[in-house]
Chains A and B, each alone.
Chain A
């Protein structure tokens, strides 16, 4: 009796399976039409998003289409977009981290904009920013903002201790005697924040030219060791509690519990809201420290991209061009201190006067390194990527720099087909 029951279940299951498969077959591609409503996924932070929404609505009003702004947390946006876009769903326009463009384009999830006006009118843009919109010779986006990281410092605390903003790791160690030991600098344990240490040592995670994984090269290990060295010298603290780390670091810096942190312009407007920076002048920014002089931070930023399969491509195109117009960029810089990607916006007096642009603009020229154009690169340094646990193990002291770097190199392997360790 049990056997025949089983047979019936299997037979029914198989029949349903066939029916479901048949149902999946016949989808057809719709002709290019325009629904007139642009769904925009804004991945900016809570301090930034009101400004972007306002500009988006202004653009919609002027352009004669509708915009629906949906705020998606940055950390989840890429995954959510991938899942949605694979199934033909999701936003029409995505604010895309520059590191994601190549990855999403490789998967065929972004619309190719090479033949549109968006790809032609690029003379006004910063060339690094334009490079970030391209993959395999095609254009997939329009630059929104460009960024780098710098050393934020609390001028009041530094002045009270009588120290100048440090340029090297040794200067941080020297300053820590006066700033109260580990109250000197808070090291973010996130893997993106490991990059300045590695870049400043003249190394990188991978070398696309020779197809080698270089995170365990002697220079990169030296860079990683520098971070651990600051902790060992009791000149820095960190938070190994990775789920709470970013918030704890922000809280500590805003409350004046630590004198310095490394972060990007996206955090600028948030810090100014904190009581200890009510006097704007007490928030200082300089280049990230390096081994022998000012170091280098990774170039970042965001692009506007359009999802492949959108039902509102013409409107979306109008929308992203409006969002990245000189006028919009000046507005963003004025309100949030983000660095514009258009030269005409950067030259605008209002934009220049903004604290964030004044602080980070100069760092873009001399203290910034572009990330290699490898589609898998952003996956290496994602929060869920393989560099994060190794870097945490190093900072926590469970592995030394070489062992942590070796572990990372090994974990990179499966993500980087065709690369060898070296």
Chain B
């Protein structure tokens, strides 16, 4: 009904909104079936992602904590109030009592790119090796996928024992070859960051490998044959056939890798706990603020959450734009 009246008055001030609604009506009329099919997804995403996200953004502008939160069970009304940009000011000032933001940011970047670069390198090497026909290929594939099949917490605990400074296997080995004072891997130094990155690389390589292996198998064999006939060396074939053929898979793998690794919480939490400043990344610090302290500081945790999300959004946008400029669609 609105549609028909709107169409007549399309000229002049204030006409933009009715016209849009009119367009929407026609649009819905044409595609109602598709939208009906999509509604369950929209509802689920709305309930489990969108609402918590909006709530999180709102909380980052308040002074909410567990003594000001409303509690229907205890008949206590909410007592938190909006404090504007105070939380962002405190966090972004780099004040150590709000987590030394820039230090944590550097560690997060180190953690993310250290992990993703090696995920990709090792994954690529293993995928290329497994892509040829060799004896027992099935067995190798199963063995290489194993780290992924083992629950992450089991692997994390196993690594924690391996890295144990006093009774761990690594230090036992080092003592065995004559190192008198082997390092405290998970202690108060950057070695702890190194150790957790090693574990994360170990955990993440199988996924990259499988994804790249899929990409390799989709490269037509004729290209290699043609290259061989043209007299291309193995390296040339790799650089000019394999790598370009993998580009779209690589783009997705790297994008997902960065986003996931940026937000990996379990590995650090399980190996060095949440209170080692040397392995603090944005997401573990948000957890610390949320769960420790006599009053849990939900507001600062939410602020860290929003900052993390914003950084990932900026990264993703730039990354996709660069890819598009190179003529690739990641998805």
Contacts and interface: CB of A to CB of B under 8 A. Distances in A.
B150 interface: no
A263 to B, nearest CB: 17
Contacts of B42: 8-9, 12-13
A17 interface: yes
Contacts of B83: none
Contact of B273 (A8, A27, A242, A379): A242
Contact of A379 (B50, B165, B293): B293
Contacts of B288: 384
Contacts of B67: 106-107
B273 A244 contact: no
Contacts of B168: 244
B293 A385 contact: yes
Contacts of B160: 243-244
A252 B27 contact: no
Given A240-B187, A308-B74, A385-B292, A407 B275 contact: no
A88 B293 CA distance: 21
B94 interface: no
Nearest to A1: B27
B131 interface: no
Interface in A22-58: 24, 27, 29
Give the interface centre of A27, A103, A240, A393 by most chain B CB atoms within 10 Å: A240
A309 interface: yes
Interface string B274-306: 111100000000001001111111000000000
Interface string A65-108: 00000000000000100100111100000000000000100111
Nearest to B164: A244
A383 interface: yes
Nearest to A237: B166
B101 to A, nearest CB: 14
B291 A384 contact: yes
Given A13-B46, A385-B292, A244 B166 contact: yes
For chain B, the bracket of interface size reads 35 or more
A389 B276 contact: yes
B230 interface: no
A378 interface: yes
A241 B164 contact: yes
B33 interface: no
Nearest to A109: B74
Interface in B31-88: 35, 39, 42-43, 46-47, 50-51, 54, 66-67, 69, 71-76
A418 interface: no
Nearest to A309: B73
A359 interface: no
A398 B187 CA distance: 11
Nearest to B67: A107
Contact of B275 (A82, A86, A242): A242
A87 B72 CA distance: 8
Contacts of B271: 243
A159 B184 CA distance: 32
A79 B291 contact: yes
B96 A243 contact: no
B235 interface: no
B272 interface: yes
Contacts of A243: 160, 186, 271-273
Given A388-B275, A410-B96, A240 B294 contact: no
B293 A29 contact: no
A210 interface: no
Contacts of B113: none
B292 A379 contact: yes
B197 to A, nearest CB: 16
A1 B67 CA distance: 46
B165 A244 contact: yes
Contacts of B186: 241-244
A164 interface: no
Contact of B184 (A13, A241, A309, A382): A241
A382 B293 CA distance: 8
B73 A389 contact: no
Contacts of A396: 184, 187-189
Given A24-B72, A248-B164, A384 B277 contact: no
Given A106-B67, A240-B187, A375 B294 contact: yes
B262 interface: no
A4 B19 CA distance: 12
A60 B166 CA distance: 44
Interface in B290-329: 291-297
B275 A389 contact: yes
A329 to B, nearest CB: 29
Nearest to A88: B73
A358 interface: no
B189 A383 contact: no
A103 B188 CA distance: 29
Given A1-B27, A4-B27, A383-B275, A248 B46 contact: no
B327 to A, nearest CB: 21
B98 interface: yes
B259 to A, nearest CB: 21
A383 B164 contact: no
Contact of A103 (B51, B189, B294): B294
B167 interface: yes
Nearest to B47: A16
A13 B72 contact: no
A383 B273 contact: yes
A251 interface: yes
B51 A384 contact: no
B24 interface: yes
Across the A-B interface, give the 10 residue pairs with the lowest CB-CB distance, nearest first.
A88-B73, A240-B187, A379-B294, A384-B292, A241-B165, A376-B294, A396-B188, A13-B46, A13-B50, A16-B46
Interface of A: 1, 4, 7-9, 12-13, 16-17, 20, 24, 27, 29, 79, 82, 85-88, 103, 106-109, 239-244, 248, 251-252, 308-309, 375-376, 378-379, 382-385, 388-389, 392-393, 396, 398, 407, 410-411, 413-415
27 contacts: A1-B27, A12-B42, A16-B47, A17-B50, A20-B47, A86-B69, A86-B71, A86-B73, A88-B72, A240-B184, A240-B187, A241-B164, A241-B186, A242-B186, A242-B273, A244-B166, A248-B166, A252-B166, A375-B294, A376-B295, A384-B274, A384-B288, A385-B275, A389-B277, A393-B188, A407-B96, A410-B97
Given A379-B292, A396-B189, 11 more contacts: A4-B24, A7-B24, A13-B50, A82-B296, A241-B166, A244-B161, A384-B275, A389-B275, A396-B184, A407-B96, A413-B97
